[in-house]
Amino acid sequence: MRFLIHNFLINPAFWLALLLGWMIWISWRKGGWHRGVTALSVLLLIGLFKPLPKWLIASLENQYPPLLDFPEQHFDKPIHILVLGSGHVPDLNLTANQRLSTTALSRLTEAVRLYQNLPESQIIFSGKGQDGFRSSAGGAYFAALELGVDPVRMDTLHTPAHTLQESIDYVGRYGKDQPVILVTSAIHMPRAMAFFGHQGLNPIPAPAQFETKVHPSGKSYWLIPHLRNLTLLQLVLHEYLGRVAGHIGF
């Protein structure tokens, strides 16, 4: 009974799915311009369920696996760990790590894990903030201090506002000779690698924050609608539009 209540009766996505189904039925019967309403309703209805969003997300996230091994031939000299910016709110009522977005905190956690395994590494945080306030890079820097990272082994890029600019600014300050590990969200990694590749770099990918995870039990409730699945579709759309915008110079 609890399963039915939580996943259907008090699940807003379930009632939205019923509404969309009703709209599809009514619009299809009327024909004409209502067919457009039908098509949009079908797309939204499909997006509420897991298969399509999960497949689209996995097509991006599976391109680069987690960085689990540290072979000596790659990490026997100083290396940069570049953490791309991803959100920070300078709320003085919160601790430094609490001011980070969920995405930023996930990237920071991965960077600190790498830092602890690579004694010759330096973490570089990137990302602009609102004018007059601490940057995203600065927010991540102070959160790393709270986690015990040595300030001597950190640096910041405060001006980049998007991924393409981050790649340009990194090369402008550090050049192309320093080995670099690139830390960003798994879904964002293909776009980031493409942009950094266009700047003549070949970074080592270290993806964080995987949206698609497989439970060992194999259980997956495919038939339960969830609003989160629409958010996943939004993330996919953001990545593809971001790549197009980067290629045309925005």
Q: Alpha-carbon distance 45 to 2, whole Å?
A: 24
Q: What confidence score (pLDDT) does residue 141 get?
A: 96
The pTM of the full predicted model, rounded to 2 decimals, is: 0.79
- CATH superfamily membership of 72-208: HUPs (3.40.50.620)
Instruction: Give the model's pLDDT for residue 122.
Output: 95
Which band of pLDDT confidence, cut at 50, 70 and 90, is reported for residue 229? confident
pLDDT digits 0-9 by tens, 61-95: 899 999 998 766 566 668 999 999 988 888 889 99
| pLDDT at 10 (0 to 100) | 44
**Tokens standing for 198?**
């266009």
Q: List the structure tokens of 177.
A: 């000779």
Residues carrying CATH 3.40.50.620, the chain = 72-208
Is 90 exceeded by the pLDDT of residue 47? no
Asked which of 1-5, 100-104, 147-151, 178-182 is least confident by mean pLDDT, the reply is 1-5
Do residues 105 and 62 make contact, with C-beta atoms less than 8 angstroms apart? no
Nearest to 56 by CA among 246, 234, 219: 234
Mean pLDDT calculated for residue range 106-127: 94
Per-residue confidence at 5, pLDDT binned at 50, 70, 90?
very low
What's the alpha-carbon Rg for the chain, to the nearest Å? Answer: 21
Q: Please, which residues bridge with residue 122 across strands?
A: 80
